[in-house]
Amino acid sequence: MHTLKLYFEYSYSSQLTKKKFQFNIFSLTYLFTLVPKADVSDRFWLFGLSFWLSIHILDETDIL
């Protein structure tokens, strides 16, 4: 759980300077290298969640 918390904190702070594509590649790389004990389905679920968050939060910041 600590790893997951760290992941979301880092992705939130870094998404303001990265494009969506770069952010999602980072997400996928992170989930397949730093979460080796997770099931494949869990990794894809987390990747999908991070993808959704990156789109919605980046769209919000584009308005600002």
What ranges do the domains of the chain cover?
Answer: 20-64
In three-state form (DSSP H/G/I as H, E/B as E, the rest C), the secondary structure along 14-49 is HCCCCCHHHHHHHHHHHHHHCCCCCCHHHHHHHHHH
Q: Is pLDDT larger for residue 47 or for residue 1?
A: 47
CA quadruple 16, 20, 25, 31: dihedral, nearest 10: 70
What pLDDT does residue 29 have?
A: 62
Rounded Cα distance between 5 and 22, Å, is: 20
| Amino acid in position 6 | L
- Does the structure show a pLDDT above 70 at 48? yes
Mean pLDDT for the stretch of residues 33-41:
61
Distance, CA of 54 to CA of 24 (rounded, Å): 8
> Is pLDDT above 70 for 32?
no
Question: What's the pTM?
Answer: 0.30
